[in-house]
Amino acid sequence: MVKKIIFSILIFFVSLNANIYESNCVSCHKKLPVTIDKYFYRYLLKYSSESNVKNAMLEYMKNPTKDKTIMPEAFILRFGIKKPSNLSNKQLKEALDIYWNEYKVFGKLK
């Protein structure tokens, strides 16, 4: 009983520390063989600017289809299309902002 309570409290604190991106995106993507940054650069390759990239990602997560994916067909055949996200627009945008800041090219080139 005591162990259970301690465990739940631990989970609670971990989830408090982990942001919405870590808990909702990274947690699942970790299980896939393709690292999460690869998606980012594929989006960048197609959509270029910050707003375009974010909009495209948002659209896809809300309503993922085969037409909209930026991943190659082989990847889709093997892993399929993800399910629509349950997060609200605001939460998705927050997660996307964190994602963008993590991998954006601005200020990283030497």
Positions that interact with other proteins (CB under 8 A): 37, 41, 44-53, 105-106, 108-110
Copy the structure tokens of residue 85.
Answer: 């996200």
Report d(CA 37, CA 104) in Å as an integer.
10
Q: How far is the CB of 26 from other proteins (least distance, A)?
A: 16
Report d(CA 58, CA 52) in Å as an integer.
10
Copy the structure tokens of residue 75.
Answer: 């990847």
Report d(CA 71, CA 43) in Å as an integer.
9
For other proteins, the closer CB: 53 or 92: 53
For other proteins, the closer CB: 13 or 41: 41
For other proteins, the closer CB: 15 or 48: 48
Alpha-carbon distances, residue 67 vs 26, 42, 60, 63, 109 (angstroms):
24, 15, 10, 11, 33
For other proteins, the closer CB: 39 or 85: 39
Q: How far is the CB of 76 from other proteins (least distance, A)?
A: 20
Q: How far is the CB of 69 from other proteins (least distance, A)?
A: 16
Q: How far is the CB of 50 from other proteins (least distance, A)?
A: 7
